Amino acid sequence: MNDFTKVALVTGATGGIGQAIAKKIASDGYIVFVHYSGNEEKAAKLIEEIVDAGGKASLVQADVTNALSVMEMFDTVRSVNGELNVVVHSAGIMPMARIEPENLDEFKRVIDTNLIGTFLVLSHAAKCVSSGGRIIALSSSVVAKNFPQYGPYIASKKGVEGLIRVLANELKGKNITVNGIAPGPTGTDLFFKGKSEDLINWFKDQNPMNRIGTPEDIANGVSALTGDLGRWINGQIIRVNGGFA
């Protein structure tokens, strides 16, 4: 029976993968703070779904690219019982842009959100997460593929993986693990948007499991890291992708 004494923060919780993570962590017995950037209605609907399923959840808004906003988010989360046990940083964007001079602004936007946002969230998590806690950030299995137009996104996620490994070492002696989850192609609205059936089938064919992942597949990977079985996994990037790499 869940006693709801532990607190978790899930950023980017209105996205397809973020929603699944928030629901799974709530079902694992955490009080979940559902972070959103702009879509409060979608976040509130997620809260209702978690509560209807017997969980506990609250809303928290923040711009992950803004240092003050991120600090205030962590202050709000810690106000529940003075502790924060799990942080899952799922917030991010994935616009397509070729490596061309006219796309510099788009590159900066991706770096601001995906890399600087991760730095801010991880830096506060490092100060706020209690002993025995877990910090998880999402990368992507696409970093191994080097597809055209993915340059800004891959650059940002490579940086995220570096931050994860370094922070794991910087928290030596704190009894806090820091890991990354790198999903492969996952069946979210964002993934399917603008893709033909032939292209979707191509992605399926690239996977030994011959399918696209589900948000729940990714959430289960996160849950494994936050549970008791994940206590000896640290400084790792786990490719939750069915073999797509």
Average pLDDT over residues 22-51: 96
pLDDT the model gives residue 245: 67
Residue 118 token pair? 């991760």
DSSP string of 124-187, one letter each residue: HHHHHEEEEEEEEEE--GGGGT--TT-HHHHHHHHHHHHHHHHHHHHTTTS--EEEEEEE-SB-
Look at residue 191 in the predicted model and tell me its pLDDT. Answer: 83
pTM across the whole model? 0.95
| Domain coordinates in residue numbering, the chain | 6-240
Average pLDDT over residues 188-210: 88
CATH number of 6-240: 3.40.50.720
* Per-residue pLDDT, 25: 97
What is the C-alpha separation between 205 and 65, in angstroms, rounded? 36
pLDDT at 227 exceeding the cut of 80: yes
Q: Residue 56: beta bridge partners?
A: 31
Q: Is 36 a catalytic residue?
A: no
The average pLDDT across 3-22 equals 93
Q: How many Cβ atoms sit within 10 Å of the Cβ of residue 80?
A: 14
Q: Examine the pLDDT at 3 and tell me if it is beyond 80.
A: no
Q: Write the pLDDT tens digit of every residue in 182-197.
A: 999 998 887 888 788 9
Q: In the predicted model, what is the mean pLDDT of residues 23-51? A: 96
Of the candidates 30, 36, 150, 153, the residue annotated as catalytic is 153
Distance between CA atoms of 44 and 52, rounded to whole angstroms?
12
Q: What is the pLDDT of residue 54?
A: 96
Give me the mean pLDDT over the 51-72 stretch. Answer: 97
Lowest mean per-residue pLDDT among 70-79, 132-141, 199-208, 219-228:
199-208
